[in-house]
Amino acid sequence: MTKQVSFFLLLLFSYLNSTATTSISINGDKAYWDNPITATTLDDVKALLQQSFICPVEFNNTKADVILQLPALSELNPNLKSRAGEGHDYPYFSYPLHNYGWERSGANQIFKLSATSYQGVSFGLYGLLQEKLGFAFYHPRETYIPNHGSRWPIETILYWEAKPVFDKKGFHLHTQHPLELTEPLLDQDFPGALNSVKEYINWLVRNGQNYFEFCLLENIDRKKWPTHAKAFVDYAHSRGILVGVDFSLHMIQQKTFQMYLSPTQSLQSKEKQVLKNLEWLMQIDWDLLNMEFASAEFVGGNRSKKEALRLKMIAWLSEHKPSTKLMGRQHIVKHDNEQVVTGKKEFQWDSTSTALDRKRGIMAHTVMFYDMTEENAPVYQNKNQRHQFEFLKEQLKIRETWYYPESAYWVTFDNSVPMLLLPYLTARLNDIDTCEAYQVPGHLTFSSGWEWGYWLIDWSIARWSWNQWENGNKLAYSAAMYINGLNANYKASKGSIFDATKVLPLNSGSTYSEIEYILFQQSHFLKVENLIKWLTAMSITDELPKGMNNEFHPRPPISYKYLQRKASIAEITKIRSTVWRKLYEFATKSRDINLYTSRINPPIWKYRVDTTLTFWQNDLRDGYTMTNFRALHRYYTLDYILAKRSAKINHKPCNCDSLLDKAVAVRQQAQLIVNEREKHYRYPLSSIASKLKGHTSYDFGYLYPVHSLQFWYREEEQARHNRYGPLYKTLFNPFKIIGLVD
């Protein structure tokens, strides 16, 4: 009998049996139920399967129709480590080898899991559910569970294996900002704090991640908080998750926890303060300490003194907590753009100085929706971020080095405006491919909130951090693959029609799903045409006087203030023929595929909720529609500014108010989307979209600027009254943010 015929008969036998599944069982040695890493996973997986299938799901039933067989204990070897740390003379923080594979046994519905660690077994069980059974762990508080009835759907797979791209992979929750888990992580008395953190840890495990960290702030309760932190760190460890904490040596901005205070705040020497705080920190069993070296972004100097303190910390850890790794990060700010407050301006990295503390790992940080190799990335006064790519390659020779990109930026760039910027997907996938090519061992994603569709970015990154082979063939990845898969699974099981699975013509001879179509549009208009410079909201620094106005995010090469007060006819004509026209084109390009909107007075749409769609489907639709509305709003406010200036130059009357009225009308339509979306936020409005006296230097939740579309309204008022400046109708207290006042 040929292999082809055997394979055909196997598939036929499998199909006939798949329609009559009456029981499912997970079988394995008792040790799996005694080990906390696998015990919790087994109970969770069983509960998830019970929600998906109508048949019983059991443990150790050898007569079940479908058996998921765990590895024999003799196959486990927790001492096996990733090869990522081999061949180097610097210390490497190891994690157990956690590859896994599933193999079908003969013609039966027996699936054998192969793994060499309890972590691998845990990831393998969740991998089977998400990658092969149609489950989707897309949000810490929401999971898509397919309805399989009594049919076991895996019919064609003989062997499937998964290997992590990175030895360590996970997320940094930037709790210097008022995000979903900022208060649960920092306030032991916050309602449901511990359970909220555990939810997130569970999401990490379900998505094959093994590390997370957050920013520690200076105003936590030093007596009570360690008990709270120990509880969630211990829980993370019980699930196979490493935990780190982010703090600073002496950063004064955004209430970050400082290892030493200035002389006016403490009479103790810097060294005594550092060691005392380190001892206090290590009450908790942290795996990594991620320490900020600079005093603030764009600030350098006093390197030698700071380096001496850092080496003291490394020596203390080596003696008292040798299993804890000290890490640091390399900011996107170039050395040439640093401002020195005290001391001599010194280069931030070089082979000689970094060799002194090679026990300390380093993370190369990039920002926003740009990857580290693309040519144009106008952020933090850089043309691009290739200097970080060069830094990454250099540091891989010297010390343990991770890549540290962002999945959202928060302030004035994306989810606080709001805009759903899908090019994040392409950038992060491109970077993962680059990291794999250069064998970067760690990947840490800087996360800034999950609403307005940003859960999609984090979820995709988590899944891309694993490579998969099916029957010997490596699976190819694409930017929109996971949301397309989720849409297809939902359509198949629920019968709902969602146009993200409909193909649309893009170029001759090619078709794209709706999400891919919008991703293409955004990449072209926002990045190639550089409209992102005009869609970001102006930050405080953008409106400071020249010499102080550091450029953090992309911004127009010519300010709105200049356009309204000083622009020439030639400059106005140029803006109208380029940016102004492109804004309109982008805003209206995709309206025909936003099916839950109907045109009433093009190009303004009337918002209505599509009740046939799930929350997550409407979430994505609202996100990318708001991005179009944002472009249209900018189009009308810019139209007003240019018309007013032209009329003044030509000494002619201008009925310009009607143009600004159109901007107001767009904002009012967008506000309806905000009002609807707020009904479906996964966390209380009081903690993420309202005024809030929490631990951060912001007196509101991270979605409070979205609540009333404050940035949009502010831009209208700036144009209407010709008033510009960092403090005009702003939500932010700059003195509090930079640490000059509490």
The C-alpha atoms of residue 269 and residue 665 are separated, in whole angstroms, by 59
User: Could you tell me the residue ranges of all domains in the chain?
Assistant: 3-164, 511-737
3-state SS assignment for residue 674:
helix
- The DSSP 8-state label assigned to residue 369 in this structure reads T
CA triple 194-198-201, angle to 5 deg: 145
Instruction: Kindly state the average pLDDT of the residues 462-470.
Output: 96
> What pLDDT shows up at residue 25?
97
Lowest mean pLDDT among 243-247, 256-260, 632-636: 256-260
Listed ranges 254-268, 303-317, 625-639, 724-738; the one with the highest mean pLDDT: 625-639
> What pLDDT shows up at residue 202?
98
3-state SS assignment for residue 470:
strand
The C-alpha atoms of residue 257 and residue 277 are separated, in whole angstroms, by 10
Q: What is the mean pLDDT of the chain?
A: 86
The C-alpha atoms of residue 730 and residue 713 are separated, in whole angstroms, by 10
> What pLDDT shows up at residue 511?
64
Report CA 440 to chain centroid distance, whole Å: 19
Concatenating the DSSP letter of every residue in 101-168 gives: EEEE-TTSSEEEEEESSHHHHHHHHHHIIIIIS--EEEETTEEE----BT-----S-SEEEEEESSSE
Strands 110-115, 66-69: pairing is: parallel
Regarding pTM above 0.85, the answer is yes
Report CA 735 to chain centroid distance, whole Å: 28
Residue 696 pLDDT greater than 70, yes or no: yes
Which one is predicted more confidently, 615 or 389?
A: 389
Instruction: Kindly state the average pLDDT of the residues 668-688.
Output: 94
The C-alpha atoms of residue 444 and residue 211 are separated, in whole angstroms, by 8
Instruction: Kindly state the average pLDDT of the residues 425-438.
Output: 97
Longest dimension (CA), the chain: 92
Strands 401-404, 442-447: pairing is: parallel
Is there a contact between 410 and 452 (Cβ–Cβ < 8 Å)? no
Lowest mean pLDDT among 132-136, 244-248, 315-319, 489-493: 489-493
Q: Tally Cβ neighbours within 10 Å of residue 283.
A: 12
> What pLDDT shows up at residue 212?
96
Nearest of 273, 333, 339, 271 to residue 306 by alpha carbon: 271
Is there a contact between 454 and 703 (Cβ–Cβ < 8 Å)? no
Strands of 264-337, DSSP E: 288-292, 299-300, 325-330
> What pLDDT shows up at residue 303?
67
The C-alpha atoms of residue 332 and residue 739 are separated, in whole angstroms, by 21
> What pLDDT shows up at residue 365?
95
> What pLDDT shows up at residue 605?
52
pLDDT tens figures, 108-154: 789 999 999 999 999 999 999 999 999 999 999 999 999 999 899 88
The C-alpha atoms of residue 26 and residue 596 are separated, in whole angstroms, by 44
> What pLDDT shows up at residue 306?
77
pLDDT tens figures, 151-208: 998 877 789 999 999 999 999 999 999 999 999 999 999 999 999 999 999 999 999 9
Residue 606 pLDDT greater than 60, yes or no: no
pLDDT tens figures, 392-426: 999 999 999 999 999 999 888 999 999 999 999 99
The secondary structure of the chain in percent helix, strand, coil, rounded to multiples of 5, reads 45, 15, 40
| % of the chain residues with pLDDT over 90 | 65
Which one is predicted more confidently, 10 or 488?
A: 488
| % of the chain residues with pLDDT over 70 | 85
pLDDT tens figures, 63-99: 999 999 999 999 999 889 888 888 888 999 999 999 9
Is there a contact between 114 and 101 (Cβ–Cβ < 8 Å)? yes
pLDDT tens figures, 508-560: 455 677 788 888 889 999 999 999 999 999 888 888 888 777 778 888 999 99
pLDDT tens figures, 208-240: 999 999 999 999 999 999 999 999 999 999 999
pLDDT band for 625, please (50, 70, 90 cuts).
confident
The C-alpha atoms of residue 148 and residue 51 are separated, in whole angstroms, by 9
Report CA 348 to chain centroid distance, whole Å: 26
> Which pair of structure tokens corresponds to residue 537?
């909201």
CATH of segment(s) 3-164: 3.30.379.10
Using CA atoms, how far residue 610 sits from 83, 418, 437, 597, 601, in Å, is: 50, 20, 43, 9, 20
Is there a contact between 302 and 296 (Cβ–Cβ < 8 Å)? no
> What pLDDT shows up at residue 499?
47
Task: Please name every residue paired with 96 in a beta bridge, in sequence order, or none if there are none.
Answer: 81
The C-alpha atoms of residue 73 and residue 664 are separated, in whole angstroms, by 66
> What pLDDT shows up at residue 11?
41
Residue 336 pLDDT greater than 80, yes or no: no
Q: How many CA atoms lie within 13 A of 6 on its CB side?
A: 6
